Structure 1
């Protein structure tokens, strides 16, 4: 079972594998143009936001009007979905193929979630892709500026490095559904789409990916590293067998645990979710 965005916008593929969703046609269509001009021209206050944990951020009071507003905004404009490192590299390749040779730029931007929570993002973790550089060149002061323009290959190498040394989660992001204009590399402690998803109990901001993790019980030694490192708190170590247990429906399919398992006991496999994305 594909997610509903794939059904609507995938043309038989996953929606982030459909080249049209990175196209010039969509990038400069009226709704996307209006949203991007508003999004990249606004002033965003830098943090710190005063919260010390994701629990505090998720526990803030809510009201029905806020819930409706946020749900509509993410459903139509800023929908995010988890992808693996391999898929993230494919996204960069597909997006770069839509542009002319001289335009093949990936824009390294400050992550807005880190910017608001911590006061900055010196490593420029999020990528504007496809034609998003058109908007960042027009609004060079977005999130304090300091944008860097790199090739898809350079960006792919950064993804590989970060996936092996950190616990970031890759997510494709629409800048006006279905135009995919961003590839986020998220810190789940401060990721605003995920926090909205959890806090408001709405699906639109944050979808799980199309993969889950399978445990090879012949290799797992019950070290607990996956339990400690998972950004979503999914793995449990069975107290009797001392083997990692991963609920395939709760797993987001990000691959963080597989990238950091010294025993190579964890493997990403494709998964059709029965309880939704």
Structure 2
């Protein structure tokens, strides 16, 4: 189990605990203001913070401090973790209200309007009052499942995100090309911005035909082709999109903690 499971999940998967989605938690410790500012000013805040960090990292005596601030932000303020298809679907049955909005990242990076991001409960209540996201739509469990499955086939990774940990307010369904967090993960390799999930991919070498489809679709560079067979390396985040898109069903997800024993 990860550190969040121990701190916020009683030793179990923390993102499956209903207490991390409650309205009471969302409205405490200034989270409502944090959420409002996050969505209302995400473009300006992204540019400003990246510029500040980049400048600070060029100054030797404050570089370490700046890097620590980045890591703390993505632990205490806006933490993200990869979740499997099954867990993403289960999560959508927890919060009550489930809504979908246009992905802010893809709008900013690609100028595309794609309804990929899922918001929960109080987060949706706050965001729908921000003009640029006023076209938010509520969806039921079947629609949420359909959306998650369709994005998985497209090669999108499911990640849950906090707004002042441990309150979970969203599931993003994104890839390297159109996600600000993926861009930051690549830009700031010193930081653990996107936490690995609780599973890891395993390839059945007897079934694998070495077609390379899994390698092409992997968003983390976690698959290598050797001896005409796919092999998983330590970059695996356990998202499972390789499993879903494998033509011979040669890949499965297994619990990471069991395999590490």
- How far is 1:5 from its partner? 1.2
Q: Is the 8 A contact 2:175 2:182 kept in 1?
A: no
Q: CA RMSD in A?
A: 2.3
Q: Do structure 1's residue 263 and structure 2's residue 255 form an aligned pair?
A: no
What's the secondary structure of 1:269's corresponding residue?
A: strand
Equivalenced residue count is: 246
What's the secondary structure of 2:248's corresponding residue?
A: coil
What's the secondary structure of 2:165's corresponding residue?
A: coil
**2:74 paired residue number:** 74
Unaligned runs of 5+ in 1: 50-59, 97-103
What's the secondary structure of 1:141's corresponding residue?
A: helix
Unaligned runs of 5+ in 2: 48-53, 58-62
**1:150 paired residue number:** 139
**1:139 paired residue number:** 130
Q: Is the 8 A contact 1:79 1:204 kept in 2?
A: no
Alpha-carbon distance between aligned partners in 2 of 1:184 and 1:266, rounded to the nearest angstrom: 23
TM-score normalized by structure 2? 0.86
TM-score normalized by structure 1? 0.81
CA distance 1:195–1:123, change in 2 (3 Å): closer
**1:15 paired residue number:** 14
**1:112 paired residue number:** 104
**2:60 paired residue number:** none
Q: Is the 8 A contact 1:62 1:200 kept in 2?
A: no
Task: Within 5 Å, give how 1:215-254 maps onto structure 2.
Answer: 215-239=203-227, 242-247=228-233, 249-254=234-239
Q: Is the 8 A contact 1:82 1:252 kept in 2?
A: yes
Deviates more, 1:66-75 or 1:181-190: 66-75
Higher helix share: 2
Alpha-carbon distance between aligned partners in 1 of 2:213 and 2:239, rounded to the nearest angstrom: 16
Q: Is the 8 A contact 2:128 2:135 kept in 1?
A: no
Alpha-carbon distance between aligned partners in 1 of 2:254 and 2:208, rounded to the nearest angstrom: 17
Q: Is the 8 A contact 2:67 2:191 kept in 1?
A: no
